[in-house]
């Protein structure tokens, strides 16, 4: 395995990829609050795209888009109200079929889409099973989240759990998902101090985690599913809901990309970095 220090990568083609998917961080909020990530862009150690989400700008439909490279009207996950197993093909399944190992530290929708639906916490919450599409899974729920009493996994705990998974299993692909900004944004709104503080907390947790992951040979991608309006909503078509960031830490040509990328490009990009061919259903070209 090639080990690369942060920013000294060989283009990242070690085949190992982590994607951090932070729920509900729009493009403007990301650029304003992600000091660590923006520092890597400024130092040309990371490349940042402006990316437009598919519609609706809702969690489960976009989770499926990020891993299938298809739109909700194609993949069939149209709302958060019904989350069945994915029909695929998706990144986890393609990777596993090619003999790669997969992992996720994520909210339980990911278990429902790629391992088993409906959710059974005792069966599904912690798995190490090579027959599953997410072989190493550490899943949590938002069942303690109510409007006035937020119970969220700490951002730093999610990053530490990912580092622990790398030490124990070193999966070839790991999806890391934190939904702190979404939960806080729905309560306090997308222009609140609380929302911006939660976004900063993600960035702060990444400050320690990303160099460790890079040292372990991972290319680190970072994006969001959708943004958050000032009045605490998403699902619609405005720029604040649809424009999200996409960062590639370890990209050989660091800096800011021109234009607007499509969210449909994420799945083929992950597969290309892993050295895998995208299935024909993923029509958008990779970003790398
Ligand atoms: Zn939400």
The rounded Å distance from CA 65 to ligand 1 centre is 16
The rounded Å distance from CA 59 to ligand 1 centre is 6
CB atoms within 10 A of CB 8: 10
The rounded Å distance from CA 217 to ligand 1 centre is 32
pTM score of the predicted model = 0.93
Q: How many CA atoms lie within 13 A of 85 on its CB side?
A: 12
The rounded Å distance from CA 24 to ligand 1 centre is 6
CB atoms within 10 A of CB 83: 22
The rounded Å distance from CA 145 to ligand 1 centre is 12
CB atoms within 10 A of CB 168: 11
The rounded Å distance from CA 147 to ligand 1 centre is 12
CB 27 within 8 A of CB 244: yes
The two tokens of residue 237 are 């078509």
Instruction: Return the CA Rg of the chain.
Output: 17
**HEC letters along the chain:** CCCCCCCCCCCCCCCEEEEEEECCCCHHHHHHHCHHHHHHHHCCCEEEEEEECCCCCCHHHHHHHHHHCCCHHHHCCCCCCCCCCCCCCCHHHHHHHCCCCEEEEEEHHHHHHHCCCCCCHHHHCEEECCCCCCCEEEEECCCCCECCECCCCCHHHHHHHHHHHHHHHCCCEEEEEECHHHHHHHHHCCCCHHHHHHHHHHHHHHHHHHHHHHHCCEEEEEEECCCCCCCCCCCCCCHHHHEEEEEEECCCCCEEEEEEEEHHHHHHHHHHHCCCCCCCCCCCCCCC
Closest CA to 101 of 194, 160, 17: 17
The rounded Å distance from CA 274 to ligand 1 centre is 30
CB 52 within 8 A of CB 263: yes
How much is the pLDDT for 117? 96
The rounded Å distance from CA 169 to ligand 1 centre is 31
The rounded Å distance from CA 139 to ligand 1 centre is 18
The rounded Å distance from CA 179 to ligand 1 centre is 8
The rounded Å distance from CA 234 to ligand 1 centre is 6
The rounded Å distance from CA 228 to ligand 1 centre is 8
Domains, the chain, in order of start with CATH, read 16-273 (3.40.720.10)
The rounded Å distance from CA 203 to ligand 1 centre is 19
The rounded Å distance from CA 190 to ligand 1 centre is 11
The rounded Å distance from CA 79 to ligand 1 centre is 11
The rounded Å distance from CA 227 to ligand 1 centre is 9
The two tokens of residue 107 are 């909210």
Local confidence pLDDT in tens for the 288 residues of the chain:
333 333 334 444 559 999 999 999 999 999 999 999 999 999 999 999 999 999 999 999 999 999 999 999 999 999 999 999 999 999 999 999 999 999 999 999 999 999 999 999 999 999 999 999 999 999 998 766 554 456 667 888 999 999 999 999 999 999 999 989 999 999 999 999 999 999 999 999 999 999 999 999 999 999 999 999 999 999 999 999 999 999 999 999 999 999 999 999 999 999 999 999 999 999 999 999
How much is the pLDDT for 155? 87
The rounded Å distance from CA 205 to ligand 1 centre is 21
Report how far residue 13's alpha carbon sits from residue 193's, in angstroms, rounded to the nearest whole number.
39
How much is the pLDDT for 150? 61
How much is the pLDDT for 89? 98
The rounded Å distance from CA 180 to ligand 1 centre is 10
The rounded Å distance from CA 14 to ligand 1 centre is 34
Report how far residue 10's alpha carbon sits from residue 16's, in angstroms, rounded to the nearest whole number.
13
């Amino acid at each position: 395995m090639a080990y690369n220090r942060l920013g000294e990568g060989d283009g990242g083609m070690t085949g190992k990829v982590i994607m951090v998917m932070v729920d509900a961080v729009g493009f403007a909020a990301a650029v304003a609050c992600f000091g660590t990530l923006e520092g890597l862009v400024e130092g040309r150690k990371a490349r940042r795209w402006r990316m437009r989400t598919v519609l609706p700008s809702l969690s489960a439909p976009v989770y499926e888009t990020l891993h299938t490279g298809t739109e909700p009207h194609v993949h069939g996950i149209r709302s958060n109200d019904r989350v069945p197993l994915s029909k695929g093909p998706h990144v986890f399944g393609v990777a596993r079929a090619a003999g790669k190992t997969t992992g996720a530290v994520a909210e339980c929708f990911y278990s429902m889409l790629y391992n088993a639906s409906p959710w059974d916490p005792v069966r599904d919450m912690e798995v190490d099973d090579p027959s599953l599409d997410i072989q190493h899974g550490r899943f949590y729920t938002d069942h303690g989240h109510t409007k006035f009493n937020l119970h969220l996994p700490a951002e730093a705990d999610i990053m530490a759990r990912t580092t622990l998974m790398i030490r124990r299993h070193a999966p070839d692909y790991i999806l890391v998902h934190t939904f702190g900004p979404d939960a806080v944004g729905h309560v306090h709104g997308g222009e609140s101090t609380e929302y911006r503080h939660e976004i900063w907390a993600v960035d702060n947790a990444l400050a320690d985690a990303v160099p460790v992951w890079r040292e372990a040979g991972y290319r680190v991608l970072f994006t969001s599913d959708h943004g958050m309006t000032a009045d605490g909503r998403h699902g619609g078509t405005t720029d604040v809901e649809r424009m999200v960031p996409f960062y590639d830490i370890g990209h050989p040509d660091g800096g800011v990309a021109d234009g607007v990328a499509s969210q449909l490009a994420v799945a083929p990009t992950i597969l290309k970095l892993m050295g895998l061919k995208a299935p024909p259903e993923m029509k958008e070209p990779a970003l790398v």
